Every structure is written in structure tokens, then in C-alpha cells.
Amino acid sequence: MNRIAFFLSGHGFGHAVRQSALIEALPTHVSVDIYTSVPESFFRDEVRRPVRVIPCEIDCGCLQTDTVEVDVEATLERYAEIESERLAHVARFAPMLRAAGTDLVVGDTPPLASPIARAAGVPAWCICNFTWLDIYGPYVAKHPRYLGMFARMREDYALADRHLRLFPHMAGDPSLPAEPVGMICRPGHSRREEFARRFGFDPGKKWALIYVGSFGLEGVDWHRLARYPDWEFMGLYPLEGAPANYRFLKKDLSFRYADLNASCDLVIGKLGYGLVAECLASAKPILFLGRKDFAEFEILKGLVEERGMGREIPLERFKRADFGEDLEALTGKSMEFMAPLQATGVADILGKMDLAP
């Protein structure tokens, strides 16, 4: 196996983050092509090996108005538009796979990745903790005019040669035989002393990493973070009106997001696979927002609460930055019982691949 093509959803960055962990673990003789709508700049920051990025949009994930709200009808309409061009997508990308000498297609998790691979004569693996069948199912139940599109989506996924389900995963469609594998993420390394010197944080205070996602969240009274003088807050996005104890950190190659996670006392934000996996790997508590119309949320929430490592905050309280009670509850008790959960997914997946040069 000398060349692998990854077809990655551009819904947020979670799919790209976790597959970057797999990409980096591949032997150096394996060439990597990435077909995605995620900006190429993301992979320059996250992947420390040569990759070729081919811009494409063969799925749309969920169209969101902000980090917690999904526009369900717009999502279904947009995917129907993409799916209606399926023949054009296959005609464009299948010859590219053949010309490149691709040995395997990995999808996380555009449905059209499998028919494209099939047309190119290349095996396809679906590696994910959910498919869009899991997410779109409740949408289509309310909008049955998309049932035909949904049936074709199921047929597309069925063309994959293997379905590897990352922990924690959704139940999945029973018609798609799944092979469970471990959690996938890049565990961070605490660099607290280094970050304190570099960014001017007070190492004697508690630190919280704020992540509201690439979709953002309007109407939060971020200036109220000043009410917590014993805390330093940080994040990769500027927050309007934030006080001096919030630092906007510009991401570069010198550190990874997981290192910020491992260096903090608490993470505040929305639940996504990447955030949960990194917090599980570094045993960090999470103060999280609920998510509407996104079935994966309940799986992630259940795992976080089962391990006693997080609590949900109502949106209205979040928008008031009313975190005081939660900050104390999540960091004022012993976290010894929160043993890190090992990320074994990459090793599990590599073990299923024929990677000999």
C-alpha cells in the first residue's frame, strides 16, 4: 500500500482533526491525498508530513446558524443538490484516483466516497463514529420528501468494503456491518510552564480553554469573564468584548490544540468528537453546551456524564457567562477517579492495513 486518499467531511474540523492523527501515523513510504472542503491551511498546521490537498465538496455535513443550531431543511436541501451531481463527482474524481495509483480510499464520512472509489476500482473504508445516516435519519423523518435521497445515501455507504466504527460511536445502520475500533485522537502534552512564559499566563491561577467551534455563538456577554479573577481563559477565536483575562492565541506549528487542552484545568465549549476524545485522553473536565438536532450529542454527553467529567450548562446561562458555580464544581473536587482513557484507535486501524513497503 503506497497511496491512500482520504475523503473528509468539511463539517467543522472534527473529521479532519482525527484523521490527521491517522495520517501522521502512516509509514513515510505511504503518500497521502486529501479530498475535502477543509482549507489547506488547516493541514499545514496539523499534519507534519507532506500531503496533497484537493479541494472538493461531496458532502455538506450540517448547515448551522451557530455552534448549537442546525438548519435542518437547508442541510437536506444542500445535500440533495450535491447528491444530484453524483455522476459528475464520480466522473471527476474516479479518474484522479486511478491516475494517482491510489491503493485505498478512506471516508470520514462522505457517502459519495464509496461510489467514487468503486468506479476507480479502489477499495473503500468508512472510518468514523457515525455516518450521516445516523444524523440525517431524524431530519428525513420530519421531511419525508427526502426519503429517496436518504435511500441512495444508504446504498452509497453499503459500497464501502469495511466500516470501522470509532469509540464512542452511535448504533449505526444495521445494514452496514461495523468493526469497532478504539478512540482516535492525539493526546496532548502539558506545557503549562512553557505557555505561562510564552503567553504571560499566571501559573498560580486556574486555566480554562474556551471552544465554541468554527460556527461561533452570538450574544455571549464575554466581558463577564472578568468576574473570575482567579482564572485565566484562552482560545483560538477572538471573543467580542472579552476582558484582559481572556487571551486569543494564534495557532501555529509550535503547539497543538491538544497541548492547550492538556495544560488547562477545564474546557468550556460544545461537545464534538475531537474535544471529548482529547479530554478523555488527558482527563480534563468539560463544561458544555447542549446541541440541537445533532444525534451524536447524546452519545458524547452520556459518556462524559457517565465518567463524571462534565456537566451541561443551559444556553441562557452560557450567554451570561454565568460559569461561577460550574467552575467550582468541576475543579474543586478530586479528579483522581478520572483516569485518562487511552486512545487506541490509530493502532487498531493500522493493524488492519497492509502497510508493508
What CATH number does residue 235 fall under?
3.40.50.2000
pLDDT digits (tens, 9 = 90+) for 299-354: 999 999 988 889 999 999 999 999 999 998 998 655 555 678 999 999 999 999 99
Instruction: Report yes or no on 336 lying in a domain.
Output: no
Q: What is the residue range of 70's domain?
A: 3-183+344-352
For the chain, percent helix, then strand, then coil, each to nearest 5?
Answer: 40, 15, 45
Please tell me whether residues 230 and 348 are part of one structural domain: no
Q: What pTM did the predictor assign? A: 0.95
5 vs 105: CA distance, rounded Å: 5
Q: If we measure between CA atoms, which residue out of 5, 17, 6 comes closest to residue 214?
A: 17
56 vs 12: CA distance, rounded Å: 15
210 vs 343: CA distance, rounded Å: 23
Please tell me whether residues 99 and 124 are part of one structural domain: yes
Out of 24-33, 52-61, 137-146, 325-334, which region has the weakest mean confidence (pLDDT)?
325-334
Please tell me whether residues 162 and 293 are part of one structural domain: no
Please tell me whether residues 108 and 222 are part of one structural domain: no
Are residues 7 and 267 in contact, defined by beta-carbon separation less than 8 angstroms?
A: no
* Mode of pairing for the β-strands spanning 206-211 and 3-8: unpaired
Distance of CA 49 to the CA centre of its chain: 20
Please tell me whether residues 121 and 153 are part of one structural domain: yes
Residue 4 grid cell = 491512500
Please tell me whether residues 30 and 175 are part of one structural domain: yes
pLDDT digits (tens, 9 = 90+) for 194-219: 999 999 999 999 999 999 876 678 89
Please tell me whether residues 110 and 215 are part of one structural domain: no
Please tell me whether residues 226 and 301 are part of one structural domain: yes
What is the number of domains present in the chain?
Answer: 2
* pLDDT for 340: 84
Sign of CA dihedral 260, 262, 266, 270: positive
Instruction: Report yes or no on 338 lying in a domain.
Output: no
Please tell me whether residues 124 and 142 are part of one structural domain: yes
* pLDDT for 190: 93
Instruction: Report yes or no on 357 lying in a domain.
Output: no
Write down the mean pLDDT value for the chain.
94
160 vs 179: CA distance, rounded Å: 13
What percentage of the chain reaches a pLDDT higher than 90? Answer: 82
Are residues 216 and 317 in contact, defined by beta-carbon separation less than 8 angstroms?
A: no
Please tell me whether residues 147 and 279 are part of one structural domain: no
Please tell me whether residues 173 and 34 are part of one structural domain: yes
Please tell me whether residues 197 and 179 are part of one structural domain: no
Are residues 191 and 254 in contact, defined by beta-carbon separation less than 8 angstroms?
A: no
Instruction: Report yes or no on 125 lying in a domain.
Output: yes
Q: 161-191 b/e with 16+ CB inside 10 Å = b?
A: ebbbbbbbbbebbeeeebeebbbbbbbbeeb
> Once rounded to an integer, what is the mean pLDDT over residues 16-40?
96
Instruction: Report yes or no on 251 lying in a domain.
Output: yes
What percentage of the chain reaches a pLDDT higher than 70? Answer: 97
Peptide bond just before 229 cis, omega within 30 deg: no
